[in-house]
Structure 1
Amino acid sequence: MSARDAALHFSKILTAAGHKALFAGGCVRDKLLGHEPKDYDIATSATPEEVIALFPGGNEVGAHFGVVICKFHGEAVEIATFRTDGSYRDGRRPDSVTFSTPAEDAKRRDFTINGLFEDPESGEIIDFVEGLADLESRVLRAIGNPAERFQEDALRLLRAVRFSTRLGFSIEGKTLSAIREHAGLLEKISPERIRDEFSRIITGPNRRKGIELLIDTGLMPFIVPEFLATIGCEQPPEWHPEGDVYTHTCIMLEMLQPDAPLDLCLGVLLHDIAKPPTRTFDEEANRIRFNGHDAMGATMATEILQRLKYPNSIIEAATTMVARHMQFMNVQQMRTAKLKRFMAEPTFEKEMELHRVDCGSSNGFTDNYEFLLAKAEEFAAQPLIPAPFVTGRDLIDMGMKPGPAFKEILESIQTEQLEGKLRDRDEALSLAHQLAEKSE
């Protein structure tokens, strides 16, 4: 059972009951672009009450706005009554709706490419807003007056950037001007809604273009205003011939794999976020420095991602990458135990990708990256951090009481184990006794 099969099931029942039912919006757009739609929406002449009567299990999540979600064999389909929206005083949702016609319903939507309908039976495309022409021209155009569309729902400002970058469409001139003019409307939008659109932009295959467009349209100050300071923040040319921190970061985003996960994309975006506030000029060495930008960056990244209401798991992963990205320059000098601990971090593989694009976008050095690849192969036969030969229980059985020395002894024994200097538990216990005696 596909999403389309479920949508056809509902549309046939609606039609048989005497109602008009059309596929609407993104599913029509995606099909015409040759993409498999992820989900299907149906626009219908049936009222929510009539929809519920036909599909008693429907969920009236938005019945006030004419929206009912119905499921068939696990596939959810949104069924919405043709409507005309009233005023949008909160910049998010209409104060009222009036059930109307397909033509009026199309005109209330955001962009022409999202205002198309498809007859499920015949496959005919019904176009009241010249969306087919814009699809053909690969242009993103607001329906009707762009300013009115953005004032109705300011999240459309970010949706414009998302559709433009994900589909590779240019934004029509009047629409683009209206985005710039009304960027401040984003202040009306909750952090959660901004976060969700921003996440789709930064994980898209054209994420660099997305970030550049957020800067160009004036939307970035309402998302990550701290990022603006990277523009014009010059770096030592011997290490960063590509230019300022902003250019460096944009190149890194572009170099990431198309399917790079969200936490990695955020880690790349924010890895040098603290370079502007830590920038100093070393007169003696005649060079720019950013001392401590990794530690400060992790703090700033945490504040930014918390402000945008990201889940703790995403925040922890992204900020770990920011905090540790400068440690890669020292990996060849690390003792084996420290290196294994460094490589055992859950985010290590993503950090490797961050390091790859960090170097590839600047000095081009790959020696540390290649060293770590070789070490990963060398260490592959056994767990990086094997089960310890000695545990806290062993120390307690020896008569020790938990305390600072307790932790130091366990760490010292683990270090020797990771270095390969302890062959078995007996040798580890012997060392534990020696260290315990010294600590008394």
Structure 2
Amino acid sequence: MAEDEVVGLTSELIRIDTTNTGELGTTVGERAAAEYVGAKLAEVGYEVTYVESGAPGRGNVFARLEGSDPTRGALLIHGHLDVVPADPAEWSVHPFSGAVQDGYVWGRGAVDMKDMVAMTLATARRFKRDGVVPPRDLIFAFVADEEAGGAYGSQWLVENRPELFEGATEAIGEVGGFSVSLAEDTRAYFIEIAEKGIAWMRLRARGRAGHGSMIHDDNSVTKLAEAVARLGRHQFPLVITDSVRQFLEGVTGVTGIPFEEEDMDGSVAKLGPLARVVGATLRDTANPTMLTAGYKANVIPSVAEATVDCRVLPGRQEAFERELDELLGPDVEREWITHLPPVETTFDGELVDAMRAAIVAEDPTAHTLPYVLSGGTDAKAFSTLGIRCFGFSPLKLPPDLDFTALFHGVDERVPVEAIQFGTRVLDRFLRTC
């Protein structure tokens, strides 16, 4: 059974350190992880394609399982192999131990997203061993570099190897299908149908270099710091997109909680820890994350720079940029480092029906709700091929687990029972999709 091996697969994948620093010289492990996945697929009879995406070691693995109806569009099931860095000194267990204890699998990537990679791998292996013929072709894709925007992963693959996705019309990946306890014995599974755009921005202020002991009225650091402070304190306007409105109406239907636009922040606050996730989908955000200036304590530098992580709602890019320019003023230059557009689809159709049915078969009282992801995934690349993308990585979670805080967090972990549940759901879904 796939659920019998998924815990071991998750643990073994975590033990392969695939830290993505965002720099080619220090990113590690993707080839090793891809080779591990490829070997597991080949072991049960898949024909495996290994591809390096734009640089040595940026490993990706693909396998295809033919379905019963070749006239239907294929379904892409994608997961990324890389993880963000982790400092062992901050963790209760070593982040690359893959420890299985206290009912959890621990380690960097446990929820982002080696759990889904393992669930997909376990299900793919079972289908091949048991001779399962799904209703449509399934394309299994395990890719590199998602944590740095996919330039050496999904973006490169779409631009350079589009034939790997031939015939795909729909896709599932992270981050969705996980349960949230909205009330006692009331679980809703959030299925992602939209993502905000990612726009990483560099700011640059220039001034006159000089001695740190002198009076100086043209300081690049001061100009930049003032602009960054204005931006960091700014709240962009409330914008309720169609996807967000559909989510809020769904929550109201399940819980009875009303969401009033006159006090939307107060209404959302009633959702507890979930409020920060939902709140981030109500407006654009621009969070300063890095500052760089100077080379000596007594030298005023001529240039100061900052990096800002911007996330932009569908349809808001032009208005967002106008607002940025007003906030930053004429003394600060800006340029996009990474600019990936938002993704949005609708919560309907046979694929959504199959997701809902697979979840309810394992959790009969479950509700399924569409939601918007404030972050981004490889769906941004795959959607450019005309593929309709969803976040569906099913997990049944304990009501007291602050799941979203574990993404990129210290002591990242996933419940053993959750990934076993998710594997059963994924098995049912892929047999009926």
Same fold flag (TM > 0.5): no
Name the structure with the higher helix share: 1
Which of the pair has the greater relative contact order for Cα pairs under 8 Å at 6+ separation? 2
**Smaller-chain TM-score bracket:** under 0.3
What TM-score results when the alignment is normalised by the length of structure 2? 0.24
What TM-score results when the alignment is normalised by the length of structure 1? 0.24
